[in-house]
Amino acid sequence: MGVVSFLYALPTLFHQLANSELLHKLVPGAAPVPLGASELIPSLAIIPFMLYQPAGFGTLGFVVSRPVNWALNLAIPALAIGSYVANREASFVIERMLGGVLVLLMVGTVIYGVFKLKRMQSLFDTHRPPKTGKRHADEARAAGAS
């Protein structure tokens, strides 16, 4: 989930790098080169994530309920696309706000997911039946009793 916000930030980064007057000087009389949809190519890397998460193949399905999973997966592209559009319209305050909400949403989801998975692992460990026929398990049990 932490990579999601980074992947969606790439088109805006590419747009800024291509149009930056700090990185390269504009030559008088030169025609501006429109990048068009090629700016969006890096964000296409997120499409597999957006396909397998709602289908239930990602770890997010184990952490949150199905409606929350769908809400997250719809909010991610909505915030990213809104941020990109705001950047192209030179509404940089709105872009930062939408990007910040996206990053906070991803950070919150990751933190919640880590703690939920840790709880699930400890619950599994407490209910796991002991392995029979394993000498090291018997030794560990004996060491714990003494």
pLDDT of residue 100: 85
pLDDT of residue 128: 82
Identity at 136, one-letter amino acid code? H
User: Consecutive 10-residue runs of the chain (146 residues): their mean pLDDT?
Assistant: 61 66 68 67 74 78 86 86 83 86 86 90 85 62 60
Backbone angles phi, psi at 58, to 5 degrees: -90, 170
pTM summary value: 0.66
Domain ranges of the chain: 2-19+36-128
pLDDT of residue 115: 92
